[in-house]
């Protein structure tokens, strides 16, 4: 037997009301009766823009001192615009740049007497494949000003920020043999070739969870010819390359070696050696670490 219309009407009205209500609930992202689950940091973090470059200016040479030759290379620069979701009450995340040195050749030749070299022993002998290039204080970060951004939960909305870093070389090299008693100019050549990997990383400060967001590889090379017989201010000439090859942002991220996250950093681990053409090598400046 068919039910009277007055008994079916309430169900039809209820169904129609629910259908009318669902589009609004969908726009809000969830039903009002069900708590919305916020997007996790891992799923929500996004790199909106990233750039890496080396300045186009050539290495500058400074002969103003009668004791040392100075030079300054162009800057490597990296910058990223990052978007992160709200951070939970029990979480703290730091986003920033971590850098490691993969290869270093740094030789200063003194005619026929020999050469001095800054060396990273573990990297040189192959026992490690990279060493931290942290500032030596804020491990594992390259620095702790523009290089990092820390978010402490709870935060209620998305956060957008920029992290940036720059790096260059500005060493001092003695005109005379570093183990000699005098300061007679004998430096004849400088050669440097270093390679680095730089990562944009997010680290959960509570759990140690590490998210690699981008990977950049770059290299700095230079050669300087020196005529010690010429007067001060006219001795050194920059050789190729006058302009550096540009950094490469990798299409796939690379893992971070353990040594890139821990002490020592490259500055503390390096040592200055004197390697004469005849005789045994001499440690001029031992590593600090």
Buried b (16+ CB within 10 A) or exposed e, 196-212: bbbbbbbbbeeeeeeee
Distances from the Cα of 220 to the Cα of 24, 54, 286, angstroms: 57, 9, 24
Q: Where are the alpha helices (DSSP H) in 29-139?
A: 41-44, 121-124
Distances from the Cα of 160 to the Cα of 45, 174, 211, 246, angstroms: 10, 47, 17, 27
- pLDDT, averaged in runs of 10, over the chain (289 residues): 45 40 42 56 96 96 97 97 95 98 97 97 92 96 97 96 98 94 92 98 96 98 97 95 92 96 96 96 94
What pTM was estimated for this model as a whole?
0.85
Cα(212)–Cα(254) distance, rounded to whole angstroms? Answer: 8
Predicted confidence at residue 180, as pLDDT, reads: 78
Q: Which two tokens stand for residue 66?
A: 């009668």
Predicted confidence at residue 183, as pLDDT, reads: 85
Predicted confidence at residue 4, as pLDDT, reads: 47
Predicted confidence at residue 147, as pLDDT, reads: 98
Predicted confidence at residue 72, as pLDDT, reads: 97
Q: What would you measure as the largest C-alpha separation in the chain, in angstroms?
A: 119
Cα(199)–Cα(184) distance, rounded to whole angstroms? Answer: 44
Question: Are the beta carbons of 288 and 270 closer than 8 angstroms?
Answer: no
Predicted confidence at residue 36, as pLDDT, reads: 56
Cβ neighbours for 35, distance < 8 A, ≥ 6 positions apart? none
């Amino acid at each position: 037997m068919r039910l009277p219309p007055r008994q079916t009407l309430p169900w039809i009205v209820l169904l129609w009301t629910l259908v009318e209500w669902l589009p609004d609930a969908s726009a809000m992202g969830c039903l009002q009766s069900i708590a919305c689950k916020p997007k996790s940091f891992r799923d929500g973090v996004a790199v909106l823009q990233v750039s890496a470059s080396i300045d186009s200016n050539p290495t500058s040479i400074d002969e103003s001192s009668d004791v040392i030759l100075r030079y300054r290379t162009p800057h490597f620069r990296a910058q990223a615009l990052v978007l992160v979701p709200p951070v939970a009450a029990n979480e703290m995340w730091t986003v920033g740049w971590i850098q490691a040195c993969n290869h270093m050749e740094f030789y200063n030749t003194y005619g026929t007497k020999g050469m001095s070299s800054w060396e990273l022993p573990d990297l040189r002998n192959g026992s490690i494949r990279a060493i931290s290039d942290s500032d030596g204080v804020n491990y594992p970060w390259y620095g702790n000003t523009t290089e990092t951004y820390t978010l402490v939960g709870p935060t209620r909305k998305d956060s957008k920020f920029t992290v940036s870093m720059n790096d260059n070389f500005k060493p001092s090299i003695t005109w005379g043999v570093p183990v000699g008693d005098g300061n007679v100019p004998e430096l004849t050549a400088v050669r440097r070739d270093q390679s680095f990997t730089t990562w944009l990383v997010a680290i959960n400060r509570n759990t140690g969870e590490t998210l690699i967001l981008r990977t950049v590889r770059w290299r700095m090379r230079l050669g300087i010819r020196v005529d010690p017989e010429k007067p001060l201010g006219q001795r050194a000439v920059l050789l190729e390359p006058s302009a550096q090859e540009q950094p490469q942002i990798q299409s796939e991220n690379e893992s971070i070696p353990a040594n890139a996250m821990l002490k020592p950093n490259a500055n503390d681990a390096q040592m200055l050696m004197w390697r004469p053409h005849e005789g045994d090598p001499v440690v001029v400046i031992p590593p600090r670490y």
